[in-house]
Amino acid sequence: MEKVLEIGHLTKKFGRMTAVDDLSFSVEKGNIYGLLGPNGSGKSTTLGIILNVVNPTIGSWKWFGEEPTTNSLKKIGAIIERPNFYPYLSAEKNLEIVAQIKGAEKHKIDEKLKLVGLLDRKHDKFRTFSLGMKQRLAIGAALLNDPEVLILDEPTNGLDPQGIIQIRELILQIASMGTTIILASHLLDEVEKVCSHVVILEKGKTLYSGRVDEMTAGFGYFEISSGDNHRLQEVLLSLPHFDRVSSENGNGLLKAILKEDLNGEALNKQLFEQGIVLKHLVKRKESLEQQFLQITKNQNG
Amino acid sequence: MKRLLNIEWNKIFYYKSARIFTILYFLMLAAVGVILAYIKPEIGGIELDIAQLGFFNFPDIWQNIAYVVAIGKIFLGVIVIMNVTNEFSNGTLKQNLIDGLSKKEFLQSKILTNFIFAAVSTVFVFAISLILGFIFSNSQDAVFKGIDFIGAYFIKLSFFFSFCLFLALLLKKSAFSLLGLFVWWVVEGIISVVEVLIIMARNNGNIDPEGFFISNFLPLKSSANLINFPTMDPQGFITGKSIFVSSSVDWVFVVSSVFYTALFIWLSYRLLKKRDL
């Protein structure tokens, strides 16, 4: 898989506060990535760094396998926090400035305005737009150069339900054209509905990184190890209880994701019958979804 | 460069307040010319006609007009400040950078605008002085002798706009930037007074106004010294000629003003480069 973005050991400190703490993840072409975390978890800072507006304390990142330059930014479309435009300029003039910066063709302006449903308002001043329209204009602006990657930070924040649906449909429509999307959100529901992959952040640290469908596995998973993890993995896969077994964590523990209910005692018995003695066996009943809700609940309370 | 100018043009030209202030500024420059030439106030029963005093005589007219209209630079200074602080309050600086404008390019576009403002304004002042001179000057010799004051005017404005740009980048809000400008001006004034008092204390209360003052080289003061208040000599009036004494631009202040212009541009760049937006 072609890597669009690779982030390596990124750290950003604001005074004594660490906003992003040794963050590493990569983004593969053609997927929709969610950057999920409560407010203040470092999502916007991370996006700010990879978009050249925030200077990292340490760490590096690569766009399209190259060191980042302003030219790589021209292959990216991004909106951060809120739609930022010149309020006194019309939609068309605003997009003209963006096109001049990105070096995009002028005729793209009408095309993108049409895509986001604002063509008939192109001569109206930005300040007369509703929030939903402003957000759509921002998406249109981000798409002007037909970017390979679209970055959206809380794109549905503050929108009414109709506006939210419009934006989500638009995102899926853009993704279906093959654009890689990175979507930052504090809404689990939004990430589940839109994204294929997710990176969960808490206080600047990665809590989970992987596929969304794994995250929401309903039966929990086992953390497990024995003297011979290779053999253990084979045996686990031969059992009918598991969806997948992975050793991704790098801590010597296998992660066996359940597809049906099974308790630790029963698993231990079965493995012992197969001649495997376990060193470590923990069942994580709590799914990541619940963990995430716990985090956000603590935040809000 | 054309790309940066196009971008700036879209940002400023369609901004109503900036357009109004710019138009007002140039109207004001023209009005100053007309007022000086045709309004003759009566003071104590004597009609004051500055043309009679030799205000419009070549070569003194260059210094006289440049001195009088220099105060108007604050109008363009406000536009320079608004033009930058708006980019902060609208979040467009951040968006410009995200869209692929580098911090350097952003600053270049603002500096280019500053120099264009300074240049257009200088051409305007040149034209006004030239026209008024041709109408009112009692002699058409040595027309371009004092032209160095027009060059000084350009340097003065360039410095001032660079300083405004720096303040706007530093303080991010237009009200604070204007306040910052005022505070800086007051502080320079205080330093000047303190220096004078120290020298007087050392010399038993005597001071040579033509002597050397370190405070003359503070940023605003050094730019003010480019175009000094015209020297006058009543003797000239009595003899029926001009009361104005011709002088020329002191190159020392040209050097210091150019230095400060470069310094504030460099500081602006450092500031922008280091800041998280």
Residues of chain B with pLDDT under 70: 236-241
pLDDT of residue B173: 95
Residue A181 has pLDDT above 80, yes or no: yes
From chain A, pick out residues whose CB is under 8 angstroms from the CB of B95. 79-80, 84-85
Residue A280 has pLDDT above 80, yes or no: yes
pLDDT of residue A143: 93
In our burial notation (b when 16+ CB lie closer than 10 A, e otherwise), range B55-88 reads bbbbbbbbbbbbbbbbebbebbbbbbbbbbbbbb
- Categorize the per-residue pLDDT at A301 as very low, low, confident or very high, splitting at 50, 70 and 90: very low
Residue A212 has pLDDT above 50, yes or no: yes
Q: A100 Cβ partners below 8 Å, 6+ apart?
A: B3, B6, B7, B10
Chain B from 43 to 102: CB within 8 A of any A CB: 86, 90-92, 94-102
What ipTM did this prediction achieve? 0.85
Q: Which of B7, B90, B98 sits opposite A78 (nearest CB)?
A: B98
Residue A286 has pLDDT above 70, yes or no: no
Counting residues of chain A whose pLDDT is more than 70, the rounded percentage is 92
Packing angle, helices B73-89 and B148-171, rounded to 10 = 30
Residue B221 sits at φ, ψ, to 5 deg, of -65, -40
Contact A60, A112 (CB under 8 A): no
pLDDT of residue A205: 87
The overall average pLDDT reported for chain A is 87
In our burial notation (b when 16+ CB lie closer than 10 A, e otherwise), range B27-42 reads eebeebbeebbeeeee
Contact B254, B69 (CB under 8 A): no
- Give residue-wise pLDDT tens across range A11-36: 999 989 999 999 998 899 989 999 99
Record the tokens describing residue B14, joined without a space: 């369609």
**pLDDT, average across residues A167-194:** 89
Q: Which of B91, B100, B105 sits opposite A84 (nearest CB)?
A: B91
For chain A, list the domains and their CATH numbers: 3-212 (3.40.50.300), 221-285 (3.30.70)
CA atoms within 13 A on the CB side of A29: 11
Residue A120 gets which letter from DSSP?
G
Report CB contact under 8 Å: A100, B7.
Answer: yes
Q: B90 Cβ partners below 8 Å, 6+ apart?
A: A84, A85, A86, A87
- Give residue-wise pLDDT tens across range A45-99: 999 999 989 999 999 999 999 998 888 888 999 988 789 999 999 999 999 999 9
Residue A39 has pLDDT above 80, yes or no: yes
Q: How big is the A-B interface in CB pairs under 8 Å?
A: 79
Q: Which of B11, B92, B98 sits opposite A73 (nearest CB)?
A: B98
**Interface membership of B119 toward A (CB under 8 Å):** no
- Categorize the per-residue pLDDT at A289 as very low, low, confident or very high, splitting at 50, 70 and 90: low
Domain boundaries, chain B: 2-274
Contact A141, A94 (CB under 8 A): yes
Report CB contact under 8 Å: B90, A87.
Answer: yes
